[in-house]
Structures are given as C-alpha cells and as structure tokens.
C-alpha cells in the first residue's frame, strides 16, 4: 500500500470530522433528554402568591400632627426588630456608625429647603419620622455600579440586593436624604433578638428601608404603618381611590427636598 503524505492528511481530516460530529450528537441528545425532564413533569414555576399586595407605585403619607416621641420609638422598634437592624450599646456604639431604616428628626433637618422664617413652635419641635423615600427617580440606583440597588418597575419600591452589594457606598453619597447606612463591622453581635424569618447583613454592605417588601408579599402592610396608630398611611399613589390619594386630595402635603427632582413617594402633612 502506498503511504503518501496526501493519504495521511486525508485520513486525519476525516477522523477529526468524525470525532467532532459524534461528540456533538451525543451532547445534543443528552441535552434534549434533560430538557424534557426525567418523567415529563411540568417545569418549576415562580409566581407572586395569592396573598401578595400589589400596586403600581407604593407610597406613604405621614401625618406629622399625630407624631410624638413614644410613637416614633414604637415605629422604629417595630421596624428594626423584624429586619434585624443592629442596635449597638455601650462602648461599641458609635454615633457615626448608626444603622437606621426609620428614625425621628426635627423639621429643620427633614425639610431644610422650606425656609420658613417664623415656624410655628409645635411644628418646629415635633418629631418628624423619616425613612427611605422610595423616589420615583432614585439617584442611588443611578449611582450603584453593580445594580445591587434597583427600582422594582412593578411597584416602584427601591430595593437592595444585599448579595450584590460590594460596599462602595456610592449610593450613600448619592442619596440626598441620608436614608442609607453602612455596616462598618459585623452586625450580628449587636442584634439582640434575631428574627429568623429575615436575614441579617454582613460587614461591608449598605442597607436601608425596603418598604417591607417581604411583608407586602404576604399581604401585610409595612411594620411601621401597623405600629403607627394611624399616623402613617400606606397605599398606591397611582390609584385615585387609594387611602393615600384620598388623604392627599384633602390635605396639603409636602415632600422632602422636592427641588432635587427625585420625586419622593413619602408625603408629609404638616
């Protein structure tokens, strides 16, 4: 038999082709077998659940006339305890490292642009409860380089995916309301009673109010609203018949720093 270079190259070429095509066929058949499922059952599916509360744009109206110190403390307690927000005590407590989702402040800090020259005494000293405004045009979302902070297009909640947060704190610089806090250290030792239904955070992530997205999913209103004795009203801002819109139609309400164009979803009746 004549052994030429030409014949060798021909044989080599055919074998490479054969092996390649064969392994591709094997791979394809294995893939289709897997896609069909082991027993042809339906593929797993996700859904919202029957009890979930849904809206186009969740919003809140705070009636500041009904607020007092003990009520604010009660709302903060309700929120922070179910969300495993650390409250360090003693030596580990540092004022510049406080983590807060909802907290009381004064009128002049909550509404610095109002420029009211002779503010009524009771308004000036009444506690104003502030939280993440869940802005319609959230600057924190634009600042986040990993898309860990995002706006849920379905209901307008500005959410955080703690799994993706790299702790760069751009969002904290971008938020004009100081609604975000950073975990400078492991928060777990400072959580008194851990709520097993909600995760904690780890060192190096930012956290903030999530409008109780996990409670809305099971048909419950946010914890602060439940604890507020009627001072906080929660509902769909895009629904003219909702509680919040009815309240806004009757009462004059202001928002925090409206000149910045973030369009907060939290309104304040003064």
> How many C-beta atoms surround the C-beta of residue 25 within 10 A?
10
Residue with tokens 């305890």: 81
For the chain, the maximum distance between any two Cα atoms, rounded to a whole number of angstroms, is 111
Cβ 141 to other proteins shortest distance, Å: 13
Is there a contact between 208 and 160 (Cβ–Cβ < 8 Å)? yes
The nearer residue to other proteins, 125 or 164, going by C-beta atoms, is 164
Q: Which of residues 131-150 bind other proteins (CB under 8 A)?
A: 150
Question: Pick from 62, 130, 155, 177: which binds other proteins (CB under 8 A)?
Answer: 155
Cβ 180 to other proteins shortest distance, Å: 17
200 binds other proteins (CB under 8 A): yes
189 binds other proteins (CB under 8 A): no
Question: Pick from 6, 196, 249, 250: which binds other proteins (CB under 8 A)?
Answer: 196
Residue with tokens 């406080």: 98
Cβ 140 to other proteins shortest distance, Å: 16
Backbone angles phi, psi at 123, to 5 degrees: -70, -40
- Residue 270's nearest CA partner among 65, 3, 59, 60 is 65
194 binds other proteins (CB under 8 A): yes
Rounded to whole angstroms, what are the CA distances from 25 to 11, 14, 28, 33, 229? 21, 16, 5, 12, 67
Count the site residues for other proteins by CB under 8 A: 31
121 binds other proteins (CB under 8 A): no
Please report, as ranges, the residues that interact with other proteins according to CB under 8 A.
37-38, 41-49, 52, 150, 152, 154-155, 159, 161-163, 194, 196-197, 199-202, 213-214, 217-218
């Amino acid at each position: 038999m004549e052994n030429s270079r030409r014949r060798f190259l021909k044989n080599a070429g055919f074998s490479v082709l054969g092996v390649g095509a064969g392994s591709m066929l094997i791979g394809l058949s294995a893939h289709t077998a897997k896609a069909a499922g082991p027993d042809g059952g339906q593929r797993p599916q996700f859904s919202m659940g029957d009890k979930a509360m849904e809206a186009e744009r969740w919003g809140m109206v705070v009636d500041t006339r009904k607020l007092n110190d003990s009520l604010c403390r009660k709302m903060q307690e309700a929120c922070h305890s179910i969300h495993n927000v650390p409250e360090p005590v003693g030596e580990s407590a540092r004022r510049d490292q406080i983590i807060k989702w909802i907290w009381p402040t004064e009128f002049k800090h909550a509404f610095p642009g109002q420029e009211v020259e002779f503010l009524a005494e009771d308004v000036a000293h009444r506690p104003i409860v502030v939280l993440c405004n869940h802005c319609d045009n959230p600057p924190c979302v634009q600042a986040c380089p990993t898309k860990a902070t995002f706006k849920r297009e379905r209901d307008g909640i500005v959410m955080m995916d703690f799994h993706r947060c790299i702790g760069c704190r751009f969002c904290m610089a971008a938020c004009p309301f100081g609604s975000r806090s950073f975990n400078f250290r492991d928060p777990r030792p400072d959580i008194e009673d851990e709520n097993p239904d909600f995760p904690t955070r780890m060192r190096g992530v930012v956290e903030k109010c999530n409008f109780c997205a996990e409670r809305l999913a099971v048909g419950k209103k946010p914890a602060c609203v439940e604890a507020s004795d009627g001072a906080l009203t929660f509902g769909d801002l895009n629904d003219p018949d909702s509680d919040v819109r009815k309240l806004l139609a009757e009462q004059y309400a202001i928002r925090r720093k409206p000149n910045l164009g973030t369009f907060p979803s939290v309104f304040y009746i003064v």
